[in-house]
Structure 1
Amino acid sequence: MKIDPHAKFPTRECPGCAVEVPANENRCPVCGYEFPARGPLHRNLVWLVLLMLALLLIPLLLSMR
């Protein structure tokens, strides 16, 4: 397996100084801004909202027949 040394990895912009920071870093190397951690609670909340939307839309779609 070859690794491309020129591959672009995901980045995000630091809100403190607008520098592009690798997405896997939690702190900006320039200004020290700490990105908030997205833990399991955030992930579970997203799935819960999607499930609730699906449960609301399925009966609506079935009643349109």
Structure 2
Amino acid sequence: MLLEFSVTNFRSIKEKQTLSLLKTKKNELENNFTAIPLSTGKNLDVLNSAVIYGANASGKSNLIKALGA
């Protein structure tokens, strides 16, 4: 399971870029994440999906290519 992915110095991506699938907002809708129970008794809230968007030539495709590198 992918929770967080960071890439630096890959093709057009020079500075560190991070794609995180961890929930950050406390008021997130219930059906937008899955609570995974941890051994500590707490839950790890993981987003069900993510969207990568941006202007043309902003590095979206290179981020996806970095996942496979």
The structure with the greater share of residues assigned to helix is 1
Relative to total residues, which structure has the larger strand share, 1 or 2? 2
- TM-score (structure 1 length as normaliser): 0.27
TM-score (norm 2): 0.26
The structure having more radius of gyration, on CA atoms, is 1
